[in-house]
Structures are given as C-alpha cells and as structure tokens.
Chains A and B, each alone.
Chain A
Amino acid sequence: MNRIWAFSSSLDPGRFSLLRRSPREPPSKAAIFPSRSELLAGVPIGESLSEEGRKRTMRFGFAIGVFGVLILSHAAYSTVQYRGLLKIMEEEFSGPPLNVVAELLVGLVLCTWAALTVPGKFHSIHPDSEENRIVSLPDNMDFMIFNHRGRVFPSQLDLKLKH
C-alpha cells in the first residue's frame, strides 16, 4: 500500500492527486434553510473569502480553457490551409509547419491547466491527511442500550414536546 501512496505523491508533488476530486457544488437553491454545502462548511465566515477566491480562479480558468480551445481550432484551421497550399504547389506533406506545432503546444498546456483548475479542488488520497485520518469510530447506534448510568440522573430540564 505504501508504494501506491508513494507513487501518487511522486506523480504529483502538490500532495494532491488526480484520482479523486470534489464534485462541483450544486447551485444553492433559494433554500429555506441552508444548503448542504453550507451545512457542512459549518461556520462560513472564515471560509466565504476563500470560497469567493476559488470562484474567481474558476472563472479565470474557464476563460483560459476557452482560449486554449480557440488556439487548438486555429491550429487545425491553419493545418487544413497549409495542406491546401501544398496541393496547389504539388509538394509532399512532410510535417506541420512550426507555428502550428507551437500553437498545439500552447493550446495543450492551457487546456490542461484549465481542466485541472475548473472542476474544483482535489481531495487528498493520503490516509494520514486531515480529511482522511480516522480518529474515532461511530458509536454503534444500532446496539444502543438504555440502562446505562445516565438513567440514574434524569435530565433536570423540564422538557416537553408541544404540538
């Protein structure tokens, strides 16, 4: 198992790997009570800023991705044109011209970067990271029994369910 973790970390020095990724958050409905993501976030005060920042990088990444796709399609277009030109000049096609290769490389880098940033943050797959390290087992609620010492101390609060 150690080797798998080591492999993943050597693939990706940023401690995050491509294997798991957080699902994109669903658009929060005009909910009566807070949406699930907010529920899980607990106190959103400290996290709202980073959330905002994340959204901004996501939008930026999306723009970069669109730009990358445009560059790639431009490369395709110029290749088609180049081949048309070769046909007219009656020469053999030996390889794409240099500017097309450069465009392909730039487009690849931009699209890859966008694909890595837009869908969301990566989850850690390390078993000892804070998100994955199991610190306690759930209490076995199915086997819960009620004659424990708590019953000797009935709750002093005068609780009542009103209908």
Chain B
Amino acid sequence: MVTKSEEDQLNRLETQVDNGGGGAWEYLCLVRKLKVRRPDKVLKHGLAILNDFKKRSALGTEEWTLCEQVAIAAMDCHSLDVAKDCIEVLRKRFPDSKRVGRLEGMLLEAKGLWAEAEKAYSNFLEDNPFDQVIHKRRAAVAKAQGNISTAIEYLNKYLDTFMADHDAWRELAEIYISLQMYKQAAFCYEELILSQPTNPLYHLAYADVLYTIGGLENLQAAKKYYASTINLTGGKNRRALFGVCLCTSAIGQLSKGRNKDDKDSPELQSLAVAALEKDYKQRAPNKLPLLTSALKSLRVSS
C-alpha cells in the first residue's frame, strides 16, 4: 500500500535523484519497498551504482538484491543484454538458486520464447508445486500471449489453493474488467474488501463496478460504497465524490416514474458537490466553471 506521505517522499526523492542530487540508493530502496514500477529510472540509477566499484562494494550483501531489481527493470525496458549480464552475475554467485531460476524464466518471457518459459516454469512446479510466484508467472505468461481465458483458468486454480493472496484476486478482477465480465469482477472485489476492509481503493473499485453494471439496487449499493470510500479517505478522493453525484442522478432518473421514498439522506449529494467545489476552488480555480456546468447538467437530469 502506498500512503500519501510515502508517495510524497517518493516524488521528492525522484526529483532529487533526477536532478543529480544524490540519494539514488535510498530511492531504489523506496521503490522496492513500495513495489512501484519505475523501470527506466531503476535501470539508469541502479546500473550507475552497480558500475561504480566503490558504491557497489559499500552495499555489502544488498548488492545482489539490487542486481535482481536492475535485472527485472532491464527486462521491463527491453534492455535484454543488461538483464542477461545481471542474471549471469547472480547465477555465478548463487549456482542453484530458484530465485535466479525464476529470473531466467522471466528473461525467456521477455525474449518472447513462451514455450521455453512455460517449460522452465513447469519444471520448477514439479520440484515444488506450492511455489506461489511461479504459479503467478504462469498466469502472466498466458496473459502476455493473449490467452486471457487460460490466464483466468490458471488464476482460478491458484486461488482455490491460495485464497488469501489479494494480489491475485486483484489481478483476476482487472482481467475480468478488461473482458467486461463485471459480475465476476464484483465478486473478486468483494473478496478484496473482506480481506482488507480499511483499504478505500477496493471500496472505490467495487463501487465503480456496481455503477457500471447498473440497475437501481446496484446503483444504491454503489452509492453506499462511494460513501464508505469518502469516509475512509476523509473526503480527499475526488473520484468517490464524483461517483456519489453520478449515482444520485442515475438513481433519480431510474425512480422518476415511481413513488419517491427518499430513505437515504438527500444531503449526501449536496455535501459531495460542496466538497468538490471547495477542492476545485483551491487547486484549479480556472476549471471551476467546467465543474459547475457538469454538475448542473447532472442535477437537471435528475
């Protein structure tokens, strides 16, 4: 999870490193800790450290962690030579490590040799059928080849065994959304909310999915989940504020003909609008008319 203060720190370090202010190693540590994907920067700064003998020996055993990080970043940037060199260095140091073996499998993936990669991974699974990362890599290989249905199958099989792995649930939800299978995606997000009820982003994603499915009941549930996102973020999530407005107007449209039993609080929308207007006034005053006209059109239609 990346919290607000960590994000600020990452951005600050990033500008500092990019402007040559030092702190590259700290930046790389933070990138690893927060699990963010910045392959170009990791490759550039990590390689600079690895090529500098003095800095490299100062790292001690962390050198190998950095080597792995740079290798993955290099594959992501498609600099396969660098990745190969890094993996060779690691292989020399750790002759029969599975972790290096996984990197070699990933290199095969990056080269586009899917069959070989798949073979390597199934060999690993024969040795140890409970290697979670290898299972995930197999799903990723299927996804990279475009076999989305195979990827879903792998993920489902994997989640039967490792139900607590929320990263896999999230991946599955995103795959379902890309296929517009919203019911299944909603199920995945329910699982995620159950496993981490204080994470507002899962509430938000679930509300988005419900809103997309549509229908009066789903819309009402979506509004509730947007409201819970607002509750968890202290109203600092603009997407949730907009979501509340959209849900209210959609619910109003659907229940126009029927008798109106306003059970839920009517202030919710006006409060959301007030929060949005305040936020825009503070951060982007010139976009404020845009916002007011958009909100007005929503309210007119309701």
* Interface, chain A (partner B; CB < 8 A): 1-2, 32-34, 38-40, 42-43, 126-147, 150-151, 154-155, 157, 159-163
Contact = CB atoms under 8 A, between A and B. Distances in A.
B112 A147 contact: yes
A150 B47 contact: no
A157 B110 CA distance: 19
Contact of B136 (A143, A146, A147, A163): A143
Interface in B137-193: 137, 139-140, 143-144, 167-168, 170-171
A160 B171 CA distance: 34
Interface string B18-44: 000001011001100011110110011
Interface of B: 1-5, 7-9, 12-13, 16, 23, 25-26, 29-30, 34-37, 39-40, 43-44, 47, 50-51, 58-60, 70, 72, 74-79, 81-82, 85-86, 89, 106, 109-110, 112, 133, 136-137, 139-140, 143-144, 167-168, 170-171, 197-201, 231-236
Nearest to A147: B144
B89 A161 contact: yes
A43 B14 CA distance: 11
A161 B140 CA distance: 28
A128 B78 contact: no
B43 A159 contact: yes
Given A33-B58, A134-B1, A142-B137, A159 B82 contact: yes
Contacts of A143: 136, 139-140, 143, 167-168, 171
Given A33-B59, A39-B30, A127-B198, 20 more contacts: A32-B58, A42-B13, A42-B23, A128-B232, A128-B233, A130-B5, A131-B3, A131-B5, A134-B201, A136-B2, A137-B1, A142-B133, A142-B168, A143-B168, A146-B76, A146-B144, A147-B112, A155-B79, A157-B44, A159-B82
